[in-house]
Structure 1
């Protein structure tokens, strides 16, 4: 651990002032090294009081997606987040992990902004600096590909659980994978899988998640503004990004353990409870063109596919790779 991180850790632990001499003694550093580390922390946005005869005290921490800030809220996880890399800017957190050939299972990459964030169907995901949580998790599950379709749904449930823990309000889920608040999209989720050509064995699965935290309407393009919201807009108050990121990693770790154990019953129940489409009339929009259909969304099956009923009472199952779902009159309604 660097001297900067060691000093930050000690200042977090102490509510009272810590003298430069005491910091030097505990860490085996010179007084000059302590001062340089404190100065570096201040330049990163940490408010550190200094009083003659008393020393230093941490007054406030920045709302930053850095490893020290996320880990200050992060409990023990079995896999997800053991390796955590945080960047000021990336083209895409998914792209970063896909190019890291030997990244261990559960590696997480975060970025304060993305220049080429992506959603499903190669749509752009707007990722303004300092406004959202943009992170990806690389998983190496020892499972066949046909066991992995639920991963995106598990991520959606994990986002809802993390937001509920930190904010006290639980988003809904627009099938198949969009957490929503106030009828608008709060989060984007993109899953990308790599298979070994000769055997079909899963090499890696990269799960990208972008949560809108502090955006105002002006941070979205006009077309996105119609369907997107942020926690700030929905709740009317700021939300700590590192606290929410840590809660999300803990929830994803639990979901990954359930996937490996093959017991998804609790996640299916949570998904059905959170799905805002069930019991409503929806539009089915085929990918690649074709006529829109109107149907009643009646259930989510064991693979998290949507069961719909047409006007003649016939039921069928649609999958996320086949259609997009919208409400009859808007994004969810």
Structure 2
């Protein structure tokens, strides 16, 4: 590096070097001010002159914020308080009447934001790995050495939150969508369901363009998989209204289900080696060729009154898809998930028929 070599030569050949403060004052005309300052300092300089957020003549002086946080990421304490960098940024913007660009190092609004699907997936797995490690060691995540891909430091060190780390647009994949559902709504989708639902979100972003928020993703999810919360709005052909089970010592389960089928409400009965198998028998009695391929469940929170989520992968009349059910009773949640999958299969079939008629 010519600049650093020049600084090293100057430092070695100055008379009375101990009485001289060798100061660097790099500008960013070639986009290398930060690198030049760091290399020049390593070459023997004593001081670096610059500006907050790279302000200054032409393309600006070296960005002191970038230099300071860079040191911090390498384990060197710059002895600068960066804990509320957004307030410092707002003050600088007010004084200079110039905005700090969204992608400005460490201070921009998008510094910790990932839109790319592969980046989002890596960040999601990094957070999960840190959570698992903290649980295994019996400590909080804050006590661990920070190690999350694409996030060189913990956003909280700069007064940022994790809320804007992952945002979803047309370039995003399953990882970002799954992360937002898990962190904001405790919905932990199985991997194959992540792939399926990311396609649903992708259709929305492709059609409408721009970015979708976490609230919009939740609205898309509930519209696709869950019954409407509005009592007068019916979601799909079927709705589970109530169940009752009984079993004998042979392991056979008899399921009594009250089911809305279109405008009719019927009390039906099915048998199987469990409630799910018995309910599948009821669905087959409605003319569907249905098989269960996968089943996953988890609670949405801790406590005795916690809701449970169930996810079922079904094959219905040759089509493989997922259904989702949420209920205070895990068995009921699994049956609601089957209803969700059947209703989705019917909607898909109706949509294909309409498209074929066009």
Alignment TM-score > 0.5, same fold = no
Q: Which has the higher helix share?
A: 2
Q: What TM-score does the superposition give when structure 2 sets the normalisation length? A: 0.28
Q: Which has the higher strand share?
A: 1
Which has more radius of gyration? 2
Q: What TM-score does the superposition give when structure 1 sets the normalisation length? A: 0.29
